[in-house]
Amino acid sequence: MSRFNGKRAEFEASGEKINVAILGAGRIAHTMADTLTQMAEGSLYSSWIHPYAVAARDITRAQAFADQWHFDKAYGSYEELTADPDVDLVYIATPHSLHAEQAILCMKAGKNVLVEKSFTANAAQARALLDAADGSGLLCTEAIWTRYMPSRAIVDRIVDSGAIGELRSISANLCYPVSGKARMSDPAMAGGALLDVGVYPLNFIDMVMGGHGEVPVERVETSMTPYAPTGVDAQNSTTLYYANGVMAVSTSSMLACSDRAGCIWGDKGYVVCRNINNIEAIDVYGADHAVAEHYDVPAQLTGYEYQVAAAANAILDGREECAEMPHADSLRIVELMDELRRIKEAVQPQEILLVIDAMTGQDAV
């Protein structure tokens, strides 16, 4: 158990702050460091969030990162980071294939974890990670930022209001030309479009459908274009058929640019969300295709602050999951992505599954 889990009153009386550490020092780690720095400097979060430490595979890289972002501590191994008693929350910022192993390492050391998407490389890893979290008294939550953003509540209110009538169909896409990044094409690092960018349209659809799997998916159709050098999925399209008659299409690519739109279609109108990866604006159209309502989303620091604040609040309340992205939702999305890869026969190398063997002593397949 870390210092402040379930001890909100004690924390507030102490005048201390929640010390956030970053495991990994790559691109996304820098985005989180920028976020934490801005949180520490602003009036809304500065009294309770502190950018504290970073760990990388070598101390030189970690120290350069800490110097750039003015962190207190730098560690040249992940084990050193988890041994620090002052670390309250660890943000896991490494490739998908390492998330489960490293999050379990942190929790065994009594650290709360905020695990970057995709939560894990596959459902077997997700189950092992959630088993470690269950009953631990520690927070384990997925850092898929769109689940925590204020735009989610705006979309929910529009759909629930009946402004577009009865929900009939959903379309969401996210595509970036990022195949040149080594981890994106490497099967051993759980590369491919689906886990990196495809997870966003799937989550967008899931959120519109209410989350929590309340409306079951009855049928799935999916296809993909393999990345020729390695066989991971380069582009994919999936259609989900829900029990209530709603049809939803999710598209992602690591080869192309797209408009990144999320569209929600009803029998009286429709909603267009600009950039499902970080919604910038929302327009509601009537059946005449004229804009009936326009919504701007609240100003933000980077957009990552919402997940950090949600995680910190969960720690202080003694919760093992965040309401914005509960364990069941993370597992359900990973299970869906496993099923899509199985249907499409995308490469799923044994190297990814063997991580579970090392952690649990059991076969993952």
The pLDDT of residue 363: 34
- The 3-class secondary structure across 218-286, one letter per residue, is EEEEEEEEECCCCCCEEEEEEEEEECCCCEEEEEEECCCCCCCCEEEEECCEEEEEECCCCCCEEEEEE
* Average pLDDT score over residue span 232-256: 97
- pLDDT per position as a tens digit, 80-116: 999 999 999 999 999 999 999 999 999 999 999 999 9
* Average pLDDT score over residue span 175-184: 94
Instruction: Please give the C-alpha separations between residue 350 and each of 184, 200, 225, 332, in angstroms, as whole numbers.
Output: 17, 25, 21, 22
Q: 354 pLDDT exceeds 90?
A: no
| Beta carbons of 88 and 112 less than 8 angstroms apart | yes
Minimal CA–CA distance to 189: which of 54, 99, 104? 99
- Residue 342 pLDDT level (bands cut at 50, 70, 90): confident
Q: What percent of the chain has pLDDT over 70?
A: 94
Minimal CA–CA distance to 140: which of 111, 109, 180? 111
Q: 292 pLDDT exceeds 50?
A: yes
* One-letter amino acid for residue 359 of the chain: M
176 Rama sector, left if φ>0, alpha if ψ -120 to 50, beta otherwise: beta
Task: Give me the long-range contacts of 353-357 (CB less than 8 A, separation at least 24).
Answer: 353/122, 353/124, 355/97, 355/98, 355/100, 355/101, 355/121, 355/125, 356/100, 356/124, 356/125, 356/128
Minimal CA–CA distance to 219: which of 252, 246, 253, 194? 246
Helix, strand, coil share of the chain (percent; to 5): 40, 25, 35
Tally of CB atoms within 10 A around 10: 12
Minimal CA–CA distance to 301: which of 17, 24, 37, 21? 37
- Residue 2 pLDDT level (bands cut at 50, 70, 90): confident
The pLDDT of residue 348: 52
The pLDDT of residue 247: 98
Q: 269 pLDDT exceeds 80?
A: yes
- pLDDT per position as a tens digit, 201-221: 999 999 999 988 889 999 999
Query: Is the Cα torsion angle 189, 193, 197, 203 positive or negative in sign?
Result: negative
Query: Which candidate in 117, 181, 268, 344 is catalytic?
Result: 117
Report which of residues 211 and 362 the model is more confident about.
Answer: 211
The pLDDT of residue 26: 95
Average pLDDT of every residue of the chain: 93
State how far the Cα of 321 lies from the Cα of 326, in Å rounded to an integer: 5
Instruction: Mark 262-291 as b/e (b = at least 16 C-beta within 10 Å).
Output: bbbbbeebbbbbebbbbbeebebbeeeeee
pTM summary value: 0.94
State how far the Cα of 131 lies from the Cα of 225, in Å rounded to an integer: 34
Residue 268: active-site member = no
The pLDDT of residue 356: 36
Q: 349 pLDDT exceeds 50?
A: no
The pLDDT of residue 345: 64
* Average pLDDT score over residue span 250-267: 98
- pLDDT per position as a tens digit, 9-67: 999 999 999 999 999 999 999 999 999 999 999 999 999 999 999 999 999 999 999 99
Tally of CB atoms within 10 A around 153: 9
Angle between helices 123-133 and 327-344 (to 10 degrees): 160
